Amino acid sequence: MRNTILVAGSANLDFVVRAEHVPAPGETVLGRDFSTFPGGKGANQAVACARAGGAATQMLLALGNDAFAAPLEISLREAGVALHIVRAASLPTGTAFVCLSDSAENAITVAPGANEALRAEHLPALTDIACLLLQLETPITTVAAYAAAARAAGVKVVLNAAPARDLPATLLAHLDVLIVNEGELAAIVGPCASIAQALERLDVPCVIVTLGARGVCARSHGHYHWQCAYPVAAVDTTGAGDTFCGAFTAALCAGLALPQALARASAAGALACTRLGAQASIPTAAEVEAFLARHADSADAADARRQLAAYCGIPIDPTAT
């Protein structure tokens, strides 16, 4: 039986400055604390998969021959991720520059560097792979080639379409699951009257839209599912979306039903918001279990789901999940 997740994507060293607020265009803000953290959407999601448990995790990534590569390798290996490293000798390791505000919001600029070196021929054998998790911080032609190869090999393909960009129809055709936020959804389908209308335009078996503090809406094979956000005191939202994607993919690979997978992924993402850093904030499976036990459905859960469905423009069936 296939029981391994392969994450193919980016790894960046994050340079993080804390400030009162994120600067507006042309504005200079005096920051305070400065730290570096291992990051990159692909690497964050690989760590989230590994810490979620239930399946072995591998990652295909490209790094430079520089000092920035070492903390990324260490973080991934310590999380239990097996690595397939492409060494891009002529390019620096990817970096990201993050301004983190006191309200936990952030502004991020990425310098891809070695991430641009990933090519179709670098994909390892998929013999033991059950799920392939992709993002868009590497060349989109490479992402499309990986998705096509995985589909041909009978591997489930999950794409987190971030950062936002147009997606070719050939890539969408090879997906089993598409995960986006509201902005990324709009970038793919264009202006729509509602989230529901946008979802109906996508011919992907399962599409999941993360809605920040509101929660998550999913459309799977024509049926809608909702997961309200868990209330937490947010400290840093960097990496929360990546944590959701990794935890969801791990749950999917472990055979959990969609509502349970959404709940676990939402809990993991909520916990990540309560800590600084991207990979440093990602919770373990035991932490997620304890969190879920403390946040069992309350009496007003049905009403919260109705409000979330209304925001998405979906008439809700009281019996819907």
Look at residue 45 and give its three-state secondary structure. Answer: helix
Tokens of 296: 């069992």
Kindly state the DSSP code that residue 131 receives in the 8-state scheme: E
- Is 95:72 a contact under the CB 8 Å cutoff? no
Indicate the fold that domain 4-11+40-93+117-312 takes in CATH: UDP-N-acetylmuramoyl-L-alanine:D-glutamate ligase (3.40.1190)
Distance between CA atoms of residues 279 and 37, nearest Å: 7
Look at residue 272 and give its three-state secondary structure. Answer: helix
> How far is C-alpha 52 from the geometric centre of its chain's CA atoms?
13
Q: Which residues pair with 218 in a beta bridge?
A: 208, 225
- Is 198:192 a contact under the CB 8 Å cutoff? yes
Q: Residue 299's pLDDT is what?
A: 46
Degrees to nearest 5, angle at CA 13 with 50 and 79: 20
- Kindly calculate the radius of gyration of the chain based on its CA atoms and give it in whole angstroms: 19
Nearest to 242 by CA among 181, 288, 188: 181
- Indicate the domain borders of the chain: 4-11+40-93+117-312
Q: Residue 181's pLDDT is what?
A: 96
Q: Residue 318's pLDDT is what?
A: 45
Residue 168, preceding peptide bond in cis (omega within 30° of 0): no
Active site residues: 242
Residues 6+ apart with CB under 8 A from 149: 120, 123, 126
Q: Residue 298's pLDDT is what?
A: 54
Q: Which segments of the chain have a pLDDT < 70? A: 1, 297-300, 316-321
* 214-247 pLDDT per residue, tens: 999 999 999 999 899 998 998 888 889 999 999 9
Look at residue 19 and give its three-state secondary structure. Answer: strand
Distance between CA atoms of residues 291 and 281, nearest Å: 14
